[in-house]
Every structure is written in C-alpha cells, then in structure tokens.
C-alpha cells in the first residue's frame, strides 16, 4: 500500500516519499523496512531516531528520525485506522457447512457464514454477512445483527439480542442465568427463574470468557460501542451505557447502571444497585460501594475521589515512617 494513501486515510501531513510501499505495521524497536510504526510517548523518542521502519506516525516532526513521517493530531488513533487498511478483514466463504444443526425455522441472512459444529435454535435469526465460527451454541429466539462475528465456543442463550457488527470473542457466555435466589424460613436458597434477556448493542466487542447474565424480568444491556476485555462479569439487570471500557476481571453486581463513556480499570468491583455517571473513571482494583458522580475519577477500596485517595496514601506512608521499632506488633 502506498504511503500517500495511508496519509490521506488518516488525515495526516506526509514528510517523505509518497510512493513508498507499506506492507506491515510494527513497533519502533522491531520494525523493518516496509513497515509502519508510531510514536506517542516521549520516552520512546530515542527509538524513533534508530528505527528501521519505513514510516512513523508522529504528533510533530522528529528531527533525526530516518523514516518518513506522517504528522497527525493523535498518532495512536491514526495507527489504529492505518492498521485497518494494512490488515483488511479475512474473507469467509458464505453458507452453512456441515455438520451443523440448524432449526428448520431459523433464518440465515444473505452472505452469512456458519462453520461446522454449530447449533442454531428455533426462530433464531442470523444477520447478513455474519460469521459463526465452529463449536458455537445459539439458543432459541436469538437475534444476531449484520456483519457480526461469533468466535468458537461462544454460548448465546435463548432470547438474547446481538447488535450489528458486534464481536464475541472465544468462550464468552451471553444470557446465562443471573445469580438470583431467595432464602426461605429454613435458610435454604430458592432459585428465582431468570426470565429476562441479554441485549448487546451495535459495535460492541465482548472479550474472551466474559459472562453477561440475562435479566430477571427485563433486560441486561450493553450499550453501543462498549468494549469488554477478557474475563469480565456483568450481573443480571445491569445497564452499561455507550462507549464504555471494562478492562479485564471487572465484576459488576446486579442492577447497577453505568453511564456513557465510563472506564473501569482492571479488577474493579462494583456492588449492586449503584449508579456510575457519564465519563467517570475508576482505577484498577478499586471497590465501588456507593454511587459515583459524572466526570469523576475514583480509586481505592472503598472507592473515593482520586485526590483524596492519593492524600491518604501519603499520610499512611508518613505514619509508617514515623513508627519506632517498639511499635512493631509482637508475635
């Protein structure tokens, strides 16, 4: 691919040979001729001076860089768009491959691909150009939109709705029963039937081995454009807004609501029946036990405003430094 085309597609200003051929992308340190890289952080600036890459996406021209440079406002975003050009989606042969089990009243959209060893239940609809990989279970009354990708060993339970262009990575579970029990007078746990559904919006990506529970009565919802990392648990009746980021091992208990563009860093736990406002961020391994207002950054356990948490850490460090040996607990 010509470098000029990449520059035009990412909206950048090219300094270098527009006819240069780019065939791959790589890091600054590992790149070879014919490859594109990017520079976002100053600590990697030295690598830009010695890189063997043919071209580098930069925020401003780097003096001494041997590669052609494309100046853009956001090199990381431009690199993502360039990657989509350099590595177009793999084409899949349309049709249903055997052995698969497809209910007679299921419908498969034009251009869709169903690989072997897939089960598709009654009254289920698979959208146009959607790809269902081997060893996928899709229950009754499921709807999957157009241009979606469902990878191997995914389970999509009855009644679930998957939006257009959604990506379900290997092994995720959509619409399994929520964790709902009532205790009787003898202390036994009586299962509450989970009769709701799980709804996954357009352009959502669900990472490997995530679990999205169905609602008790209504819907568990993942909003448009939200991205889940691997091993995320979303409890029943949870509503996640649009364009949220849920990083690995996040757990959200039942009936909590996340606004739009919320970021939960790795291993964040959210208690049930809480609300996290739009554009809020929660730091890694934090425990959310109360509502978080919009546009706030919270950290720690229990989660608190980040500035308060940072001050608390400084005070704890001073307290620890002020202790004498006599203050040490005795065995």
* Rounded Cα distance, 54 and 315, in Å: 50
Q: pLDDT per residue over 292-312, tens digit each?
A: 999 999 999 999 999 999 999
Give yes or no for residue 325 having a pLDDT over 70.
no
* Rounded Cα distance, 103 and 209, in Å: 26
**Structure token digits, residue 159:** 């009644």
Q: Which fold has domain 3-86?
A: 3.40.1390
pTM equals 0.92
CB of 256 within 8 A of CB of 234? no
β-pair partners for 144: 126, 162
CATH architecture classification, 95-306: 3 Solenoid (2.160)
CB of 73 within 8 A of CB of 59? yes
Instruction: Determine the 3-state secondary structure of 152 from DSSP.
Output: coil
**Structure token digits, residue 320:** 């620890």
Q: What is the pLDDT of residue 329?
A: 63
Mean pLDDT of 168-183: 97
55 — phi, psi (to 5°)?
A: -150, 150
Could you confirm whether 125 is annotated as catalytic?
no
Q: pLDDT per residue over 124-157, tens digit each?
A: 999 999 999 999 999 999 999 999 999 999 999 9
HSE-up of residue 119 (Cα within 13 Å, Cβ side): 12
Q: Which residue has the higher pLDDT, 41 or 120?
A: 120
Query: Does an H or E element contain 37, and which?
Result: strand 35-38
Q: How confident is the model at residue 322 (pLDDT cuts 50, 70, 90)?
A: confident
**Structure token digits, residue 319:** 């307290």
- Is there a shared CATH topology between the 3-86 domain and the 95-306 domain? no
* Rounded Cα distance, 73 and 138, in Å: 43
Q: What is the pLDDT of residue 324?
A: 64
Give yes or no for residue 208 having a pLDDT over 80.
yes
* Rounded Cα distance, 156 and 164, in Å: 15
Q: Which of 236, 260, 273, 306 is catalytic?
A: 236
Domains in the chain: boundaries: 3-86, 95-306
């Amino acid at each position: 691919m010509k470098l000029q085309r990449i520059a035009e597609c990412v909206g950048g200003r090219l300094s270098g040979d527009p006819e240069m051929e780019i065939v791959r992308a790589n890091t600054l340190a590992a790149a070879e001729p014919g490859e594109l890289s990017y520079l976002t952080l100053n600590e990697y600036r030295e690598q830009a001076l010695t890189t063997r890459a043919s071209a580098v996406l930069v925020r401003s021209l780097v003096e001494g860089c041997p590669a052609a440079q494309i100046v853009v406002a956001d090199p990381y975003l431009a690199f993502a768009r360039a990657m989509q050009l350099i590595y177009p989606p793999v084409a899949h042969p349309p049709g249903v491959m055997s052995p698969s089990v497809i209910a007679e009243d299921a419908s498969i959209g034009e251009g869709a691909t169903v690989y072997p060893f897939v089960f598709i239940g009654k009254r289920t609809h698979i959208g146009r150009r959607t790809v269902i990989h081997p060893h996928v279970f899709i229950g009754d009354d499921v709807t999957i939109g157009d241009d979606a990708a469902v990878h191997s060993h995914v389970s999509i339970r009855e009644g679930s709705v998957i939006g257009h262009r959604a990506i379900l990575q290997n092994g995720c579970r959509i619409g399994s029963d929520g964790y709902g029990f009532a205790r009787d007078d003898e202390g036994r746990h009586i299962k509450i039937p989970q009769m709701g559904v799980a709804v996954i919006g357009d352009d959502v990506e669900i990472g490997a081995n995530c679990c999205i529970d169905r609602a008790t009565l209504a819907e568990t919802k993942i909003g448009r454009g939200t991205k889940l990392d691997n091993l995320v648990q979303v409890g029943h009746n949870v509503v996640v807004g649009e364009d949220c980021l849920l990083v690995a091992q996040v757990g959200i208990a039942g009936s909590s609501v996340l606004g739009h563009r919320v970021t939960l860093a790795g291993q964040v736990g959210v208690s049930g029946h809480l609300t996290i406002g739009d554009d809020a961020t929660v730091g890694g391994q934090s425990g959310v036990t109360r509502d978080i207002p919009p546009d706030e950054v919270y950290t720690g356990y229990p989660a608190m405003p980040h500035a308060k948490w940072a001050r608390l850490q400084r005070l704890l460090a001073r307290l620890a430094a002020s202790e004498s040996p006599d203050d040490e607990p005795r065995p």
